Amino acid sequence: MEWLGRARIAFTHCPSPLPLKRKDGSFTDLRRICEDSVPPCQLNPLLFNGHVQTMWTSVKDPGPTIYYRRKIFNAEHTTYKGTFAVDFAVPPHDEVDDTLPPRTAYFSEEEWAKIGSDDSRPMLIVLHGLSGGSHEVYLRHAIAPLILNGGGWEVAVVNSRGCANSRITSGILYNARATWDVRQVVNWARKTFPNRPLFALGFSLGANILTNYVGEEGANCSLKGAIVVGNPFDLELANKALQRTQLGRLYSRIMGSNMKRLMDLHKDEIIKYTNLNFDRIQNITYLHEFDREVQTVTWGYPTENAYYRDASSSDAVLGIRIPFLALSALDDPIAVCEAIPYQEFQQNPYTVLCTTSLGGHLSWFEVGGGRWHAKPICNFLNRMVKEIDLDSIKPDVTGIFEPSEFAGEFHPVRRKLEVSLN
For 73-87, write each residue's pLDDT tens digit: 999 998 999 999 999
Residues 115-122, mean pLDDT to the nearest whole number: 97
Nearest residue to 401 via CA among 346, 329, 328, 342: 346
- Diameter of the chain measured on Cα atoms: 65
Q: Is 305 exposed, middle or buried (0-12, 13-18, 19+ CB in 10 A)?
A: middle
215-261 confidence digits (pLDDT tens): 999 999 999 999 999 999 999 999 999 999 999 999 999 999 999 99
From the candidates 51, 141, 266, 361, give the one annotated as an active-site residue: 361
Tell whether 361 is covered by a domain.
Answer: yes
The answer to the question of residue 122 being in a domain is yes
Residues 49-71: tens digit of each pLDDT: 999 999 999 888 899 999 999 99
Measured distance CA(75)–CA(183) in Å, rounded: 10
400 lies in some domain: no
pLDDT score for 409: 76
Number of domains in the chain: 1
Assess whether pLDDT exceeds 80 at residue 402.
Answer: no
Is residue 171 a part of any domain in this protein?
yes
Can you say whether the dihedral through the CA atoms of 246, 252, 258, 260 is positive or negative?
A: negative
Beta carbons within 8 Å of 91's beta carbon, 6+ residues apart? 67
- CB within 8 Å of 179: residues ≥ 6 apart: 209, 212, 213, 216
How many residues are present in the chain?
422
Distance (Å, whole) CA 156 – CA 310: 28
CA distances, 304 to each of 177, 274, 292, 296, 311 (Å): 14, 18, 5, 6, 10
State mean pLDDT over 382-405: 84
pLDDT in tens, 290-313: 999 999 999 999 999 999 999 999
Catalytic residue among 134, 160, 204, 357: 204
Q: Is the pLDDT of residue 415 over 90?
A: no
| pLDDT value, residue 3 | 73
Q: Residue 335 and residue 289: Cα distance in Å, rounded? A: 18
Average pLDDT value for residue range 364-383: 96
Q: Which domain holds residue 129?
A: 3-234+312-392
Q: Report the Cα–Cα distance between both ends of the chain, in Å, rounded.
A: 55
To the query of whether residue 332 is one of the catalytic residues in this protein, the response is yes
Residue 40 resides in a domain: yes
Contact 205, 181 (CB under 8 A): no
Catalytic residue among 332, 357, 363, 373: 332
pLDDT of residue 403: 65
pLDDT, average across residues 387-405: 80
Whichever domain contains 102, its CATH number is 3.40.50.1820
Distance of CA 326 to the CA centre of its chain: 10
Q: Give the model's pLDDT for residue 400.
A: 64
Inside any domain, residue 247: no
Does residue 82 sit within a domain?
A: yes
Residue 164 lies in a domain: yes
Whether residue 1 has pLDDT greater than 60: no
Phi, psi of 312 (to 5 degrees): -60, 150
Using 50, 70 and 90 to split pLDDT, how confident is the model at 399? low
